A = this chain, B = another copy of it.
Amino acid sequence: MLYQCSKEEREFLDKYDASKYERPSVTTDIVVFTLDDLDRLSILMIKRGQFPYKDRWALPGGFLHTGKESVDDCARRELMEETGIEEAFFSQLYTFGAPDRDPRTTVISVAYMALIPKHRLQICAGDDAKEAGIFQIKYDVDGMQFSNEKMTIRESDLAFDHANVIRMAIFRLRNRIDYEDDAFSLLKDTEEFTISELKKIHETIKNKSLDLPNFRKSFLRDYVKSGKVQELDKTIVSKGKPAKLYKLTGGDAS
């Protein structure tokens, strides 16, 4: 944004002392959703190496490099640093601004959510300096649980207000899935996928099973007829009748 202004205003700006207002720290936190090997809804979390909440699990994220990047870019950079992923579906979720949500000082967190297929995450999740893990999201009587092969974490064990952030992210994801194209972002390969694969993603997110014939109908109506998705000549064989393959046109849904 080029800011044109008068000589008088330019002088004001040059003399402006940004430090006269006390300023908060700003971080971004990212809820990275993925599907695990059994197609269950999962999220990426990082074990904290320092205080506060040392050794507790938290969402990936970090401080804004003030003046050097936008808030969006900060989230993108953090995602890159924690997962190695350059480009991904990505959307701002909510800003959490309670003054005591971080015991150090006022830290305002702009939360984002991202949808990333598991195979793109696996490269990075294990061999990082910090401990990272992908946890399946479960529910019991008093809230969420996060578990993988090694361990289970209760929602009350998470760092900061991250349980809240995750709850809100799940809520938004479930609401968006019906009218946004988010589901495509979780496909293993947007250049070659079957209707059943896409249906599985919807089922996982909505946590209920869908009728395949009806799902196909809406898929053809909403995506193929409008040109967002293209039918390929190929089919894929596994068990039963070979399935038609489709391809997402016009770049990723990012």
Residue A141 interfacial (CB < 8 Å): no
Closest-by-CB residue of B relative to A104 is: B16
Judge whether B94 and A12 touch: CB under 8 Å: no
Judge whether A23 and B26 touch: CB under 8 Å: yes
Question: Which A88-106 residues have a C-beta within 8 angstroms of B?
Answer: 92, 94-101, 103-106
**A-to-B contact residues, CB < 8 Å:** 1, 3, 5, 8-9, 12-13, 16, 18, 21-26, 50-52, 54, 63-72, 74, 92, 94-101, 103-106, 108, 110, 161
In angstroms, Cα B16 to Cα A98, docked, is 19
**Extra A-B contacts (14), CB below 8 Å, given A8-B51, A97-B110:** A1-B100, A9-B51, A9-B54, A13-B104, A18-B25, A22-B65, A23-B24, A23-B66, A26-B108, A67-B106, A70-B98, A71-B95, A92-B94, A108-B108
Chain B residues within 8 Å of A13, by CB: 51-52, 103-104
In angstroms, Cα B54 to Cα A9, docked, is 8
